[in-house]
Structure 1
Amino acid sequence: MADWCEQLLKLNFQKEKKDDGSISYTLIPGHRRDSYWTKITVKQVGSPTPDAWQVTCARSEIRIGLWKIHNTTQDISVVVHTSAQKMIEDINYQKRLKPSFLSKISN
């Protein structure tokens, strides 16, 4: 698992370069009824040389208010991995999570 960047791109992550020069990889798996996590972001961290990866998973839901519909973030998970192989395994696990039956029929 020497080239973790290529592994992420094969998993359909999008490479994004920020204004400050940092690079992150983002995956938006798809429709919320089919996929539990709506956004997974990976950033390489460490100083002075990057040696770990921060994986952020965020799940959002739609809430119906009195006057309009709101998108609300319900759960954010941040994990730091020191092994690229464990990072890829965790991402594959997060991608396989599915919403419960009640969440599917209520949205």
Structure 2
Amino acid sequence: MSAREPREERPSDSWIVALLFALAFGYDTVEAIANAEQLPLLYVGAGIEGAIPWWLLVAQVALPGIFFVVALFVGRRMRLVGKAGILLVALGVSAQLSLLAEQLARQIAITALGA
């Protein structure tokens, strides 16, 4: 029985993984932009336009890109599996913060409607 030698990683492998994750982070960004367009209309329709959480909408658009760049920076010297793991964790955190932002926007609307 011969021991398997580790396969040599090519630079293109890292680029392919980064591109696939860029698509996923891009999807998160597109969703955030859609929220930034639609949420103010919902608040205006409810008569609570003064309570639109602009800071939350801007953060929701900016965070996926920030997480992607930070994950690439952290994983720049790692092997491919480690780099993919860091990107996956960053994508999960980005998606979770997106859901949290949507819930927070709902709570702000409920509070504004109750006042």
Q: TM-score, normalised by structure 2?
A: 0.34
Q: Which structure carries more strand by proportion?
A: 1
| Relative contact order higher in (CA < 8 Å, ≥ 6 apart) | 2
Structure with more helix by fraction:
2
The normalised TM-score by structure 1 is: 0.35
